[in-house]
Chains A and B, each alone.
Chain A
Amino acid sequence: QQQVKQSPQSLIVQKGGIPIINCAYENTAFDYFPWYQQFPGKGPALLIAIRPDVSEKKEGRFTISFNKSAKQFSLHIMDSQPGDSATYFCAAINTDKLIFGTGTRLQVFP
């Protein structure tokens, strides 16, 4: 119940494509859902986050869609660029702990 399941494990798109990363959870006590972007050898950087009372949130080219009844949320990257190539982690917060998904390695080719 404490898990966050993330898919796909890896994703390859061409420049301009819209990669979509999906996450699912079981614990309805989770109430904050951040996404992190991590480049090799660097710490994860907070990208965008959403609370379950909101169905969609946009920040620049990044959009989170949230389906509370299905207990699923996803990250869309509009007009993807080679510089977006990184590993993306979804996460969920329950009281003190941040529970991470297993990550999606995104490669965007020119």
Chain B
Amino acid sequence: DGGITQSPKYLFRKEGQNVTLSCEQNLNHDAMYWYRQDPGQGLRLIYYSQIVNDFQKGDIAEGYSVSREKKESFPLTVTSAQKNPTAFYLCASSTGRKKAQYFGPGTRLLVL
């Protein structure tokens, strides 16, 4: 089964803690993306990567970090610097620039 998987489905963060959200794809897509969605709102781009070992900041990168060591994996770390991390986080992938993006099932991050 080809697709994008995200884990965990729910994640709880304590004050001052860094947490990492996993995103894996077996679609052989070159590009991967992380979005944040707040209740009743659209999607905002956090980071994206067009190729392994390279990534760019999106519109709301502050308080987040990423790595792209493998083509199929693009983990997102929500650092303690992100003061309002409660949101639904979505990972997506595409075959490249100006191509359709396909989304994973999402991870809901909650703060304890």
Partners in one complex: yes
A interface, CB within 8 angstroms of B: 31-32, 34, 36, 41-46, 49, 89, 93, 95-98, 100-103
With a cutoff of 8 Å between Cβ atoms, the chain B residues found around residue A103 in the complex are 40-42
> Are A34 and B100 in contact, with the CB atoms below 8 A?
yes
Interface centre among B43, B50, B56, B92 (most CB of A within 10 A): B43
Query: Is the Cβ of A43 less than 8 Å from the Cβ of B42?
Result: no
Give the A-binding residues of B (Cβ under 8 A): 4, 6, 31, 33, 40-43, 45, 48, 50, 56, 58, 90, 92, 97-106, 108
Chain A residue numbers with a CB within 8 Å of B97 are: 95-96
Nearest-Cβ distance from residue B30 to partner chain A, whole angstroms: 12
A45 to B4, CA, bound (A): 12
Residue in chain B with minimal CB distance to A99: B45
With a cutoff of 8 Å between Cβ atoms, the chain B residues found around residue A97 in the complex are 45, 48, 58
Distance A102 CA – B43 CA, assembled complex (angstroms): 8
| Bound form: Cα–Cα A109–B60 in Å | 37
Closest-by-CB residue of B relative to A34 is B100
Q: Which residues of B contact A42 (CB under 8 A)?
A: 105-106
Question: Which residue on chain B has the smallest CB distance to residue A95?
Answer: B97
Q: Given that A96-B56, A100-B42, A101-B42 are known contacts, is A43 also in contact with B104, CB under 8 Å in the complex?
A: yes
Contacts of B43 in A (CB 8 A): 44, 89, 100
- Please name the residue on chain B nearest to A45 by beta carbon: B103
Contact of B98 among A31, A36, A101 (CB under 8 A): A31
Closest B residue, CB atoms, query A49? B100
* CA of A101 to CA of B105, assembled, Å: 20
A96 to B50, CA, bound (A): 8
